[in-house]
Structure 1
Amino acid sequence: MSQPPPPPGQPSRGDSPDPEKPEETPNLEKKEPGAQQASPSQGETPQQPAQPPSGGFGAPPQPPAGGYGYPQQPPSGGFGAPPPQPPAAGGYGYPQQPPGGGGGYGFPQQPPQGAGYGYGYQQHPGQPYGQGPGMYPTAPGYGPGGPGAPGGSGNGKVIAIVAAAVAIVVAVVTIGIFLVNKDDGTEARQDPKTGTNDPGGDKPASTEGRELFKIPSPKLSEDETASVTGAWATDKIFAKSTLNGIIGMDAASGKQAWKISLDGQICAAARQSTDDGKAAVITAETKSSRAKCNQMAVIDLDKGKKLWQETMPSSESAVTLGMNMAIGKNVVAAKWIGGSVAYKMSGGTPLWKSQSGGGCEDEGFAGGEELMAVVQCGSYGDPKLKVQKLNPKTGEANWEFDVPKGVQTARIVSADPVVIAVGAGSSTATDVMTIGDDEKLKAKISLGDNKYEPGCSTGVESCTSIVVDDDYVYLPSARHQGDSASTNEIIAFDINSGSPKWKSDAGEKRTIVPVRMLDGKLIAYKKPTYDAGGQVVAVDPGAQGKQELYMRHPDDSAEDENNLGGISLREPPIYQNGRLFLHQTLISKRSSTSYGKYLGIGFGAQ
């Protein structure tokens, strides 16, 4: 179907940057027109982050402007990021003040009087979700006379795109003058008794951990920033993007194993890697500040080799804004404002591709057990969001969930089971929804008034602080005052009902965040305190959240583990083969922010 016309005086998303040079129509189209069409990422106007909570390490600095692949809106919560701004008062599913009692912070025992289904978690038997009294409030700008309507004051998505374009142009000019540091300067930390670190395994060989290595950030000039998006781990290698390249660290010896030079800056990177250690990135075609981000490349992480590189379609456009990519079912899919494309991880010609102009457009992809997409259909003034599981070979939807009316944004948390985070009347995530195989809503967990920190930013695959298994959705509560210092908990919500079942405390002075599921247990990271290193714990769902210490980092690593020393903690840790890796995607030497001294730090058992 064709794309509805935009409001008067506003360009279509599919408009070519040069009206006299329209984009070339691709010769490979999806079989279902409109099922996957490219679009701007979420249409969110960049916002200034809230001031981080006082006290303790781990609260990030104000993020510098833009950069390839860097979200324009800071994460709401997440690993050290400030909590989100509260949603507008009222509206369906927004909780009242939490009750007192022995349940603890963020863990309601029973709803307050009169709160009904509006408190904390909801399931709505017998009532059409998103209809009548239960519908979400209409997003600002989507009502009659609003900014998104004809005769309004302009479209918010267009404004967001223009703002993002300005930020990225500035970042491109800045990044374009950087050079890769010839002296890698990586610091390997060897055990003096063995010469190597632990042999790995799901559980570390010892609870006493040590620092394996540090990867120093490239040298920057004053007031410069750079995006270094992308980090992956296999059983043997931790790989981290740097300026115009990727560095691979041997996880056993702590030494640099390899370094791959790329044609230009990494513009986007898939969070996932395949079971056999393949990762995918999009790079600029040259190191020039004016280079287009149109090169897809796949890397073998264990061997340190670039397996293939292809020029993506629609290369006449900048291919920069709204960029997102994901790996699922051994296929890598990429989206930008203006189109999308998918390749086999083994390379070759595109499996499918699309351009703007249909009735539906891709908001972005998510990977893992499935290849998924968030798709927006309809007009600017009345958008309709869908979450789809894709046939990776064709791009067609073989499973689809219609997001309730009034939801402005949707982010995919988990592909199997399907869990999404939505923004109701707001770009900020306000609720977490669990979806059944029957493509229907099972439960809704309201995030409330800054009670939880899902770690969501603007991207479709950006909720980094939520972990899911077949039984529970694990959410960290916001940091709050404990007996003597600030602390928080992980709350386990039943995936079928949305009700809270148990909580696992961080302990005084600590903040705990979920990392991943492993062998039926939730791996979690306790952030460092002022004078003590971080900790890795395994949380047992079968024992109501009982914790087992997996690894205690040395106390002298506390400074390196937090933003004042080297790592911003804005990105989630990676736990692989008994080792924990911290990393960051933005480095800066601006006078107003902390300079990220390290690209990544690795920890293993003594």
Structure 2
Amino acid sequence: MTASPPPPPGGPARTPQIWDTDIARRGTAPPGFGPPPQPFGADPGGGGGAPRGRRKALIVVLALALVAGLGTGGWLLWGRTQKDPRHRAEPSAPPRVDTRLDWIVANPDKDKALPSPKRPATWFAHGNVIRTWSRQITALDVRQGKEQWRIALPGELCSASRRLDDDTAAVMYKQDGNTCTGLMAVDVKSGRQKWDRRVPLHDERTSDYGDPQVLVFRGRVKVMGSSESATFAAADGKVLEHPRLNPADNCMENRASTDGKTLLSVVRCSLGSDREFVQRIDPGTGREDWTWKAPEGLTIRGVLSVDPVVVTVGRTDSSDTSTNLISISPQGRTRAVISLTDHGGAIDAIVGKDTVYLASGDKETAASTKENRIVAIDLAKGEKRWETNAGGNRVGTPVGFVGDKPLFYQGAQSGEGGRLVTLDPRDGAPTVHKRMPSESSAEEAEVAALGEVYFHDDKVFVVAAAELRPKNLMMSFG
């Protein structure tokens, strides 16, 4: 590639590129690019391919929506009168570990063959847990599980934004048969549709938004697909950008991720051979802070973390499996290449400040139960810090963080409820954070199968995969 994508029309001058070719210069692929393991999860911030595997939906994208509420401690509040500072309030009691089943929502369509929802999303706002389903968006009161509002979709769900922006969410749906051309923005505070429109196409016959991604960021809605992309005003749906892209000889943005502050764009270019890039975009100016080039022969499967930047990659000639993680420095240079194959064929992961926590695939133990391993890897050097089975006889899947401690969900089994376990970032020592009751273990196991688990405001939410037609759709423990 000899030139990078031009800046937006009328935009500021482009900053110098930082091309990281340390890996690309090697005669062979870096260590760890061995046989592909089980599929790795998609980006928690909104990028990457469709979820794969038993616990994809538990990735990443989950931690970004919860961290702000999990790591805060209690403040000592002083009155207006000047009292002796020694007369302080007694320390609050530690959080209760044992939970109860607060509510459970039955599936009204359990006997109907529902289509599999594409990239479903769950949001928490204004005392509600809000979920996208195949044909609707539903808000339930987090305290009692009662429906607060519902918005019907004119067609089957294609994709949904992973994050909210100023109480705005956006979804794409099938408008013309199997074509994802409908775009709707909703206000999650009022529970009303903001606008609904058809996305523009340059050529109705040859272009489409196949495998689309939706992202809401700073008052804009971005939609990216296989051969089209467009940007709309979140307030009224006005088209702000609809670039004409020709993948045969130009570059196109086909994925983007955000943590609400920073925007990462995944760009694919075709000039003799396919090459892919990650660009960090300054949200204030729209200009590139840096551009990182993927090593030759590798394709970017997803963005696992925006800050710090961690991407998942796989061989270009392989379908959709990820073989490695690559951490990227704040300056846009490769920090470390981490093999997923070398760490038990990791299939799920979450990223902390300086560490990635990998969850390996299941293995049957001598007690006829299953467990897996959690491996902590240093993002700067790619070296293993520790490895643990997080208590044994359970399979742990990442949910998020409590402070700086990674949080994993271990499913219900043999008459025992599931549990949330935190791991000490220094040595991996496990601590049970929440324990679900044994009385509802059977229902919990059914809802959690291929589903998702969230921890919000000291409550545990287990959300079912609708395509399995389970008896119940959602459970809450508090």
Alignment of 1:217 onto 2:111: no
Shift of the 498–471 alpha-carbon distance from structure 1 to 2, 3 Å rule, reads same
Equivalent runs, 1:119-518 vs 2, <5 Å: 128-135=22-29, 205-219=95-109, 225-227=115-117, 229-234=120-125, 236-274=127-165, 276-285=166-175, 290=177, 292-314=179-201, 316=204, 319-357=208-246, 359-368=250-259, 369-379=261-271, 382-392=273-283, 396-425=287-316, 426=318, 427-448=320-341, 451-454=344-347, 465-482=348-365, 484=367, 485-518=369-402
Shift of the 578–234 alpha-carbon distance from structure 1 to 2, 3 Å rule, reads farther
Separation of aligned partners in 2, 1:377 and 1:417: 25
Shift of the 349–399 alpha-carbon distance from structure 1 to 2, 3 Å rule, reads farther
Separation of aligned partners in 1, 2:375 and 2:464: 26
Task: Deviation per CA, 1:230-289: give whole Å up to 9, x if none.
Answer: 222236111112343211110022221211223332221012223x5432211344xxx7
Task: Name the counterpart of 1:537.
Answer: 421
**Alpha-carbon shift at residue 223 of structure 1 (Å):** 5.7
AA aligned opposite 2:201: S
Separation of aligned partners in 2, 1:423 and 1:234: 36
Task: Name the counterpart of 2:81.
Answer: none
Task: Name the counterpart of 2:441.
Answer: 558
Task: Name the counterpart of 2:41.
Answer: none
Task: Deviation per CA, 1:364-410: give whole Å up to 9, x if none.
Answer: 2222242222211124x621110122345776533211011110343
Asked whether the equivalents of residues 171 and 183 of structure 2 are also in contact (C-alpha less than 8 Å), the reply is: yes
SS in 1 for 2:182: strand
Separation of aligned partners in 2, 1:585 and 1:342: 30
Separation of aligned partners in 2, 1:492 and 1:451: 12
Task: Name the counterpart of 1:109.
Answer: none
Task: Name the counterpart of 1:185.
Answer: none
TM-score, scaled relative to structure 1: 0.59
Asked whether the equivalents of residues 268 and 324 of structure 1 are also in contact (C-alpha less than 8 Å), the reply is: yes
Shift of the 222–307 alpha-carbon distance from structure 1 to 2, 3 Å rule, reads closer
Asked whether the equivalents of residues 533 and 557 of structure 1 are also in contact (C-alpha less than 8 Å), the reply is: yes
SS in 1 for 2:439: helix
Separation of aligned partners in 1, 2:238 and 2:21: 47
Asked whether the equivalents of residues 388 and 399 of structure 1 are also in contact (C-alpha less than 8 Å), the reply is: yes
Separation of aligned partners in 2, 1:30 and 1:313: 19
Alignment of 1:580 onto 2:463: no
Asked whether the equivalents of residues 524 and 536 of structure 1 are also in contact (C-alpha less than 8 Å), the reply is: yes
Task: Name the counterpart of 1:108.
Answer: none
Asked whether the equivalents of residues 128 and 139 of structure 2 are also in contact (C-alpha less than 8 Å), the reply is: yes
Asked whether the equivalents of residues 334 and 341 of structure 1 are also in contact (C-alpha less than 8 Å), the reply is: yes
RMSD: 3.5
SS in 1 for 2:358: strand
SS in 1 for 2:238: coil
SS in 2 for 1:574: strand
AA aligned opposite 1:281: V
Identity of aligned residues (%): 24
SS in 1 for 2:242: strand
Task: Deviation per CA, 1:520-568: give whole Å up to 9, x if none.
Answer: 2222211222321211123232x42233322111113322233xx3443
SS in 2 for 1:557: helix
**Alpha-carbon shift at residue 127 of structure 1 (Å):** 9.3
**Alpha-carbon shift at residue 437 of structure 1 (Å):** 1.4
SS in 2 for 1:508: coil
Task: Name the counterpart of 1:61.
Answer: none
SS in 2 for 1:209: coil
Separation of aligned partners in 2, 1:442 and 1:245: 42
Task: Name the counterpart of 1:184.
Answer: none
TM-score, scaled relative to structure 2: 0.74
Alignment of 1:547 onto 2:433: no
AA aligned opposite 2:190: K
Question: What is the aligned length?
Answer: 403
SS in 1 for 2:345: coil
AA aligned opposite 1:467: I
Separation of aligned partners in 1, 2:394 and 2:219: 38
Asked whether the equivalents of residues 515 and 574 of structure 1 are also in contact (C-alpha less than 8 Å), the reply is: yes
Separation of aligned partners in 1, 2:383 and 2:342: 17
Gaps of 5+ in 1: 4-27, 36-125, 140-163, 165-199, 455-464, 589-594
Once structures 1 and 2 are overlaid, which stretch shifts more, 205-214 or 489-498? 205-214
SS in 1 for 2:24: coil
SS in 2 for 1:377: strand
AA aligned opposite 2:457: N
AA aligned opposite 2:460: L
Task: Deviation per CA, 1:472-529: give whole Å up to 9, x if none.
Answer: 1111122234453431222111111111112343323211122112422222211222
Equivalent runs, 1:9-88 vs 2, <5 Å: none
Alignment of 1:598 onto 2:476: no
Separation of aligned partners in 1, 2:126 and 2:158: 26
The runs of at least 4 consecutive aligned structure 1 residues that moved more than 4 Å come to 28-32, 200-205, 220-224, 317-320, 391-396
Task: Deviation per CA, 1:320-343: give whole Å up to 9, x if none.
Answer: 522112234454321122311223
Asked whether the equivalents of residues 534 and 553 of structure 1 are also in contact (C-alpha less than 8 Å), the reply is: yes
Separation of aligned partners in 2, 1:507 and 1:549: 9
Asked whether the equivalents of residues 30 and 396 of structure 1 are also in contact (C-alpha less than 8 Å), the reply is: no
Separation of aligned partners in 2, 1:332 and 1:430: 31
SS in 2 for 1:227: coil
Separation of aligned partners in 1, 2:222 and 2:168: 14
**Alpha-carbon shift at residue 133 of structure 1 (Å):** 2.9
Task: Name the counterpart of 2:77.
Answer: none
Gaps of 5+ in 2: 15-19, 34-48, 50-68, 73-93
Separation of aligned partners in 1, 2:133 and 2:113: 18
Task: Name the counterpart of 1:18.
Answer: none
Shift of the 220–356 alpha-carbon distance from structure 1 to 2, 3 Å rule, reads farther
SS in 2 for 1:545: coil
Task: Name the counterpart of 1:148.
Answer: none
Separation of aligned partners in 2, 1:312 and 1:394: 25
Name the structure with the higher strand share.
Answer: 2
Separation of aligned partners in 1, 2:376 and 2:216: 28
